Chain A
Amino acid sequence: MTTGPVRPTLEESPSFLKAEHISVRYGETVALNDVTLHIPTNRVTVLIGPSGCGKSTTLRCINALVKTSSGHIDYGDASIQAMSETDLRRNMGYAIQSVGLMPHMTVEENVDLVPRLLGWKRSERTERVSRLLKLVRLDPQVYRNKYPHELSGGEAQRVGVARALGADPPVLLMDEPFGAVDPLTREQLQDEFIRIQRQLKKTVVFVTHDIDEAVRLADYLVIMKDGMIVQADTPEQILAAPANEFVERFLGPDRSLKRLSLFTADHCCLEQVVSGTGKPSEAQLPKGSNRCYWQVDADGKPIMGFTWIHNRIIERPITSSTHTVQPYSSMKECMSAILSLGMPATAVVDDDGRLYGEVRFETIQTISLS
């Protein structure tokens, strides 16, 4: 059983993107005040804070859309002030807060913009557009030729994300990319985000208002207020030890539950499962055991859960997708599945719905105490 820390610690992550003592003024307003931020390479940095605290401004400083009035930002060995703005920005996918799709271009042309600017080959680009649209859960057949005014806010936002990923940049700047998306799709997009981030290991700076999203996605969580950084650390650390009352209030009263969303099913607690196509035998589910037995169909999909409760075998039919979880689901979702099925564990299924493992309540308990 592996219950160790889910994510690699930040010490292993050097930083090639460093903001040193930057300040930004818009006339009288001080948008950023002496901010120092080292963005861990190949990790997700999440900026969070109240409206107007300077999150968007920080992103715009990084890709030189806003000039700093003091301090400097280094990209690798060079200061970005010394670099060509266009080169710098082409290395950074930028999903802006207000989406800003080109209204006179189709979804395809929008997503295709940066690859086209970079002069990629046509065949390669068409292929890529389809891949990116699927990635943000938009059917390429349906959306490819639509115009921005034909999209809902959430759809437009996802096209904006696809556009930012367009040329496969090493750095991604995402300003509330899922803000206008419904909670269900948002969760799917977060899953997708976590999945691809594990593969691609981009350096991501992600702005959000949603603390759950922040805790879920962040390797490095930066809490800002009034143009300053209040606390910057791993989400685990911040949840365990908020620096001050502001952070504590910001995290909300259900901090312990939030911590659960830091752990995913596969990383910490997939257990051996007992399963079969028929009812459980005495050996498979000994009398009085607090274990579970999963009955699967011919495809290996779980259809019924069995366990002993109060000296009785109880059977729980698995009828809804909320009764099972996936390897990438968070502990919080596991907890919810356990409660909704009414069993001491929940079945983990793979992408095809086949039984893959289980997560037990007692494991979750251990983790939350650790």
Chain B
Amino acid sequence: MYIRIYNQKVVKTTRSVDIGRCRHMSEELDSPPLTCYLHRIGETPVETERTEQAFALPMGEHVGQFESRLNFHRKLAAIVLLVFAVSFFFPFFFARENRISAEIPGGIAELALLPTLLLLLPPTMILLYALIRNSRRSEWLLSFAGTLGLLAPLAVLAYVGPRVVSTLGPFARYSPGSGMYLYLTAVAIVYLMKARIRIGDYIGLAVALAVVLALGHQGSFNRLGILLEARNFGTRLSREILAHIRITGISIGISVLVGIPLALVTFQSRRMRKLVFPLLNVLQTIPGIALFGLLIAPLAALSQAFPQLREWGIKGIGNTPAIIALSMYALYPIIRYSFTAISSIDASVVLAAQGMGMSSGQVWRIVRFPLATPGILHGIRVALVQTIGNATLAKLIGGDGLGVLVFEGLGQASVDMVLLGMLLIIALTVAADRIFQILITVLTPVSLRREGA
């Protein structure tokens, strides 16, 4: 027996599977109802079960994979519960008398009943989820657990704030502890477990955001360490953020302008391939800081020799060497991905294009570029994410950007300042990644979207 679950061929298996089981699986996975075509090999398919919607799963997945995914979910639930449990043994927050005094850990034992109950609710729901898993409704439990999992730590922070001041004095401050981070990790896994982020989840996130803003407006988070640091920085903070974005943007721009043509040349000429890839590999193995440092001497010499260059900002230290080093790093993913994208285009498609009389320019314009676009964009995305992280190092050779916060914070032994810098870098990375994902979706030809995702 041979079966095809038809969202244009989702599942094929040679194992015997009945329709009832298919429907069961679709419910298990919280997928919409499915269409099955059952037939023996060599026979025309007989449509046995037809329902309105198609399966929202990747093509070519095997029934075996479905099952392992189900078991996987149960294992994930167990892991989440474990992480929640462990988190309760770690401090949920640290309080400090002033900016650099020693940390005083605080656990959930110090909380009132209400915040504690709130913290315990999400794990309870996950436990329920793991027990009753078989219905589609169980997905709701995940949604609630996710939303509450975000609200509970906020409530804890809002609850702790005023108490810290009342016990430790006017300069007191506090920050989330490792317990809370673990707790949030568990919540993050809950979101990953969801088959799909649905409207209910967005509402949950919106509620969480609204609560943050309301509490923040009310001043509940005023004594939070990173917010105090941010306030100290004032306008310098936004300047560094913009500088970080600018350095990253320019570096990526340069490596795209250099990398993509280089990838084309590399694709066309075997000799270039033998030259470019080993070079890139070597470049990639040089540690970041070393590369930044290596550039200081030649650039300094250059600007000494041609003072004109100095007016354009080209000197041994500052943003210029940082940008040069960052673009050299970004070249690797861009060239690699572009090359792979171009060379993995189905040879028969190119042959057909040539066979119908396209000139080589037309083959590039009509066939190769549109088909390689998703791959090229993925390369840029990888380069972007990597560069946002690496741009932190620019500070080490006198450049700007969020590295300033991180390294100054380290210098002043201010954990909150380092944390502020880190959080902003993470936020930038996530934002850039999301924006690029959307860009990729928009620029990918409609018919290629499913496979590309």
Using a CB–CB distance below 8 Å, which chain A residues touch chain B? 63, 65, 85-90, 93-94, 96-106, 113-114, 117, 147-150, 160, 163-164, 166
A96 contacts B355, C-beta separation under 8 Å: yes
Chain B proximity of A182: nearest CB distance (Å): 8
In the complex, A63→B358 CA distance in Å?
Answer: 12
28 contacts between A and B (CB under 8 A): A63-B355, A65-B351, A65-B355, A85-B357, A89-B355, A89-B356, A89-B357, A94-B355, A94-B356, A96-B348, A96-B351, A96-B352, A96-B355, A97-B348, A98-B351, A99-B348, A99-B352, A100-B348, A100-B350, A102-B349, A102-B366, A103-B447, A104-B371, A105-B447, A113-B356, A117-B356, A149-B450, A160-B352
Inside 8 A of A149's CB, which chain B residues have their CB? 8, 447, 450-451
In the complex, A86→B360 CA distance in Å?
Answer: 9
Does B353 belong to the interface (CB within 8 Å)?
yes
Inside 8 A of A87's CB, which chain B residues have their CB? 357
Chain A proximity of B288: nearest CB distance (Å): 38
B448 contacts A104, C-beta separation under 8 Å: yes
Inside 8 A of A163's CB, which chain B residues have their CB? 356
In the complex, A166→B358 CA distance in Å?
Answer: 14
In the complex, A294→B324 CA distance in Å?
Answer: 90
Does B304 belong to the interface (CB within 8 Å)?
no
Q: Which of B351, B358, B450 contacts A100 (CB 8 A)?
A: B351
Inside 8 A of B447's CB, which chain A residues have their CB? 103-106, 147-149
Inside 8 A of B357's CB, which chain A residues have their CB? 85-90, 114, 117
Chain A to chain B: the 3 pairs with minimum beta-carbon distance, closest first: A100-B352, A89-B357, A104-B445
Residue of B whose beta carbon sits closest to that of A164: B356
Does B412 belong to the interface (CB within 8 Å)?
no
Q: What is the count of residue pairs linking A and B with beta-carbon distances less than 8 angstroms?
A: 77
Inside 8 A of B450's CB, which chain A residues have their CB? 149
B356 contacts A101, C-beta separation under 8 Å: no
Inside 8 A of A166's CB, which chain B residues have their CB? 356
Does B14 belong to the interface (CB within 8 Å)?
no
Known: A117-B362, A147-B447, A149-B8. Contact between A103 and B349, CB under 8 A? yes
Chain B proximity of A370: nearest CB distance (Å): 39
Inside 8 A of A99's CB, which chain B residues have their CB? 348, 352
In the complex, A65→B350 CA distance in Å?
Answer: 11
Does B370 belong to the interface (CB within 8 Å)?
yes
Inside 8 A of B355's CB, which chain A residues have their CB? 63, 65, 89, 94, 96
Using a CB–CB distance below 8 Å, which chain B residues touch chain A? 8, 346, 348-359, 362, 366-367, 370-371, 445-448, 450-451
Residue of A whose beta carbon sits closest to that of B446: A147
In the complex, A220→B357 CA distance in Å?
Answer: 27
Known: A102-B367, A147-B447. Contact between A86 and B352, CB under 8 A? no
Chain A proximity of B373: nearest CB distance (Å): 9
In the complex, A148→B346 CA distance in Å?
Answer: 13
A90 contacts B349, C-beta separation under 8 Å: no
Chain A proximity of B5: nearest CB distance (Å): 15
Inside 8 A of A103's CB, which chain B residues have their CB? 346, 349, 371, 445, 447-448
Chain B proximity of A21: nearest CB distance (Å): 24
Chain A proximity of B450: nearest CB distance (Å): 8
Instruction: Kindly name the residue among B346, B349, B357, B362 whose own CB sees the greatest number of chain A CB atoms within 10 A.
Output: B357
In the complex, A102→B366 CA distance in Å?
Answer: 9
Inside 8 A of B446's CB, which chain A residues have their CB? 104, 147
In the complex, A236→B356 CA distance in Å?
Answer: 33
Q: Which of B8, B352, B445, B448 contacts A94 (CB 8 A)?
A: B352
Chain A proximity of B40: nearest CB distance (Å): 15
Given contacts A65-B354, A89-B357, 20 further A-B contacts (CB under 8 A): A63-B355, A86-B358, A88-B357, A89-B354, A90-B356, A94-B352, A94-B355, A96-B355, A97-B348, A98-B348, A98-B351, A100-B353, A102-B352, A103-B447, A104-B370, A104-B447, A114-B357, A117-B356, A149-B450, A166-B356
B349 contacts A101, C-beta separation under 8 Å: yes
In the complex, A102→B363 CA distance in Å?
Answer: 11
In the complex, A317→B237 CA distance in Å?
Answer: 93
Instruction: Kindly name the residue among B356, B370, B451 whose own CB sees the greatest number of chain A CB atoms within 10 A.
Output: B356
Residue of A whose beta carbon sits closest to that of B444: A104
Inside 8 A of B353's CB, which chain A residues have their CB? 100, 102
Q: Which of A85, A102, A150 contacts B8 (CB 8 A)?
A: A150
Inside 8 A of B366's CB, which chain A residues have their CB? 102, 113
Inside 8 A of A89's CB, which chain B residues have their CB? 354-357
Chain B proximity of A112: nearest CB distance (Å): 11
B352 contacts A117, C-beta separation under 8 Å: no
Chain A proximity of B446: nearest CB distance (Å): 7
Q: Which of A98, A114, A148 contacts B356 (CB 8 A)?
A: A114
Q: Which of A65, A86, A100, A147 contacts B349 (CB 8 A)?
A: A100
Inside 8 A of B352's CB, which chain A residues have their CB? 94, 96, 99-102, 160
In the complex, A113→B353 CA distance in Å?
Answer: 9
Chain A proximity of B372: nearest CB distance (Å): 11
Inside 8 A of B371's CB, which chain A residues have their CB? 103-104
